C-alpha cells in the first residue's frame, strides 16, 4: 500500500490538469476560471465559519461533560474540505463537497472509530490560582539540596 503513495502524488496533478482541460473545452475558459474562484471563496467561507462553529460545539460538549470526539472530527474533516476547495482543481472540489455532507462525515467517523475505545480519566486534585507554590512543597517538609550535597549509593 505504501508503495502506491508516490504514484498517487504523480497521478493527482495529472488528473486535475485533465479535468481542467475537459471542463474548459465543455464550458469555456472564463466560466472554468469563475468556478475555480468560486470554489476558493467558498473554501475560505467554510473554513472561517466552521472554525468558530467547532469551537462553540467543543465548548458546549465540555460544559455538559461529554467528550468532543465527534465535534473535533467534524471540524477536522471540514477544515480538510475547505483546504481542498481552496486548492485549485475539480477532483479536490468534488471530494470536498462530499466531505461537507453531514451523513458522509458521520459514516466516516463511525467507520474510523469502530475499533477504538475512548478512556476518560479524571483528576480530583486542584490548585487555587492564588497559591504561589504547590501545597506539597509548603512548610518545613521540603529540603532543598544542591547537586553536590547528596550522592546515590
pTM for this one? 0.66
CA atoms within 13 A on the CB side of 32: 17
* Consecutive H or E run containing 150: none
What is the rounded distance in angstroms from the CA atom of residue 83 to the CA atom of residue 47? 8
* DSSP letter assigned to residue 135: G
Give me 119's grid cell: 478512556
pLDDT in tens, the chain (153 residues): 678 888 888 898 899 999 999 999 999 999 999 999 999 998 888 888 877 777 777 778 777 777 777 888 888 898 888 889 898 889 999 999 999 888 999 999 999 888 777 666 665 555 555 555 555 555 566 667 777 777 776
Q: What is the residue extent of each domain of the chain?
A: 37-113
Amino acid at each position: 500500500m505504501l508503495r502506491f503513495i508516490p504514484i498517487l502524488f504523480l497521478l493527482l496533478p495529472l488528473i486535475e490538469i485533465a479535468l481542467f482541460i475537459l471542463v474548459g473545452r465543455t464550458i469555456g475558459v472564463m466560466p472554468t476560471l469563475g468556478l475555480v474562484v468560486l470554489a476558493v471563496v467558498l473554501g475560505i467561507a467554510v473554513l472561517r465559519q466552521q472554525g468558530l462553529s467547532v469551537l462553540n460545539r467543543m465548548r458546549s460538549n465540555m460544559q455538559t461533560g461529554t467528550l468532543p470526539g465527534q465535534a473535533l472530527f467534524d471540524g477536522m474533516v471540514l477544515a480538510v474540505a475547505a483546504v481542498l476547495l481552496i486548492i485549485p482543481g475539480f477532483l479536490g472540489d468534488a471530494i470536498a463537497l462530499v466531505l461537507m455532507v453531514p451523513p458522509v462525515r458521520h459514516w466516516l467517523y463511525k467507520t474510523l472509530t469502530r475499533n477504538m475505545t475512548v478512556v476518560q480519566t479524571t483528576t480530583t486534585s486542584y490548585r487555587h490560582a492564588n497559591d504561589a507554590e504547590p501545597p506539597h512543597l509548603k512548610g518545613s517538609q521540603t529540603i532543598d539540596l544542591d547537586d553536590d550535597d547528596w550522592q546515590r549509593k
